[in-house]
Amino acid sequence: MSVDYQSLAVEGVQALSPYQPGKPIEELAREFGLNPDEIIKLASNENPLGPSEKAMAAARKALEESCLYPDGNGFALKQALASRFGVAMNQITLGNGSNDVLEVIARCFAGPNSEVVFSQYAFAVYPLVAQAIGAKGVSVPAKAWGHDLDAMADAVNERTKLVFVANPNNPTGTVHIADAIEAFLQRIPEQVLVVLDEAYCEYLTGKAFPDGVRLLERFPNLVVCRTFSKAWGLAAMRVGYAFSSPAIADVLNRVRQPFNVNSIALAAAAAVLEDEDYLNRSREVNEAGLRQLAEGFEKIGVPFIPSVGNFIAVEVGQQAAEVYQALLSRGVIVRPVAGYGMPNHLRVSVGLAEENQRFLDALSDALRAARDGH
């Protein structure tokens, strides 16, 4: 081959490494010769309940019209979102998962010679999209594994176009209360967009926790991103959305692909918004699972980062890659987070009670074998 096609890619893309998702069950089964039915996956922050029956019924009905293009404007889903959250339909941008929305925001409002601010240990997509569009990513050192909001505000300058705030944060599970988020927003110049990524917000309860939607009217530079992949149990459907001012939404919808959310996903997402019982069960299972995992870590004697998401990061006292491999051989998939600068941690998603216990037993066994030199 006479042409180096990689060198033809734009500069920011040339230096990118692909995002690494959690290992699929089928891949692990092939790799270790395991029975897929005996493998548990606690790697990708998925909802262990399975999908809502209401969502599946709507999806099955939508399949009957698979020969037709989806509604490019997503009217029914936007209407359902507007009704539930008290926003106008022209404040909504739909995406093929919230990652899609995050990328569209970056493409619309940042570029070469601009800066994008985010926290150390924050979601990996933020630096990836900044680099892809040629912007300078500014990673602000974390504080107690979470965002140092004061330091992030200090990092904003005349070149800053975007600030990403994950609340709760993935992979650390940390969160800032409403007053802290509001005080932070007051420090950001109005020409700088703040993207409040609330992918795990449905797991939060109590008045002290923030609800970005309530801040939109007071902070027109705010964009609130959410997803149906976690508490709503539709990860495979890939539906995310953003709330913002109509002016910002108008810009985003100029760049958003017109059919970026398929008909089956649109129908399932609109239906699940009416399934309050499913959401409540998701929260209950998650709260119980977080307690179970935390108590298990304390019993094993390994430190962890208290989490409000549907996952928890545990420190295994050594290079976590070795423990990760040991868990794989035992049919348990979790997530190493060395790529986040946390080489001694594993992130484990909350599963059903029996799955959580199986993981804890496998972790205890793997750590004991490592200490004994096996």
The closest of 266, 217, 249 to 105, measured between CA atoms, is 249
Asked whether the predicted pLDDT for residue 18 surpasses 80, the reply is: no
Quickly state the pLDDT bin for 104 (edges 50, 70, 90): very high
Model confidence pLDDT, tens digit, residues 190-206: 999 999 999 999 999 87
Model confidence pLDDT, tens digit, residues 326-344: 999 899 999 999 989 999 9
Question: What pLDDT sits at residue 17?
Answer: 62
Question: What pLDDT sits at residue 11?
Answer: 67
For 5-50+277-372, give the CATH class: alpha beta
Other beta carbons within 10 Å of 162: 26
**Average pLDDT over all residues of the chain:** 92
Q: What is the mean pLDDT of residues 242-250?
A: 96
Give dist(CA 187, CA 139) in Å, integer: 18
Which residues lie closer than 8 Å to 67 by C-beta, 6 or more apart? Answer: none
The one-character DSSP state at 180 is H
Instruction: Give the architecture-level CATH label for domain 53-272.
Output: 3-Layer(aba) Sandwich (3.40)
Model confidence pLDDT, tens digit, residues 280-305: 999 999 999 999 999 999 999 999 99
Model confidence pLDDT, tens digit, residues 212-222: 999 999 999 99
Question: What pLDDT sits at residue 194?
Answer: 98
The one-character DSSP state at 142 is P
238: Cα within 13 Å, side-chain hemisphere:
10
Whole-model pTM over 0.85: yes
The closest of 225, 227, 147 to 193, measured between CA atoms, is 225
Percent of the chain whose predicted confidence (pLDDT) is above 90: 82
25 backbone dihedrals φ, ψ, rounded to 5°: -60, -45
Give dist(CA 240, CA 97) in Å, integer: 4
Quickly state the pLDDT bin for 33 (edges 50, 70, 90): confident
The one-character DSSP state at 18 is -
166 backbone dihedrals φ, ψ, rounded to 5°: -95, 120
Better-scored residue on pLDDT, 167 or 8: 167
The one-character DSSP state at 143 is B
Spell out the domain ranges in the chain. Answer: 5-50+277-372, 53-272
Q: What is the mean pLDDT of residues 113-133?
A: 93
Question: What pLDDT sits at residue 38?
Answer: 83
Which residues lie closer than 8 Å to 321 by C-beta, 6 or more apart? Answer: 336, 338, 343
Which residues lie closer than 8 Å to 302 by C-beta, 6 or more apart? Answer: 314, 315, 316, 317, 363, 367
Question: What pLDDT sits at residue 369?
Answer: 77
Tokens of 131: 């680099």
The runs of H, that is alpha helices, within the chain are 5-8, 11-14, 25-32, 53-63, 75-85, 98-109, 125-132, 149-155, 178-187, 246-255, 263-272, 276-300, 320-329, 353-372
Give dist(CA 192, CA 288) in Å, integer: 39
Q: What is the mean pLDDT of residues 175-187?
A: 95
Asked whether the predicted pLDDT for residue 374 surpasses 60, the reply is: no
Quickly state the pLDDT bin for 1 (edges 50, 70, 90): low
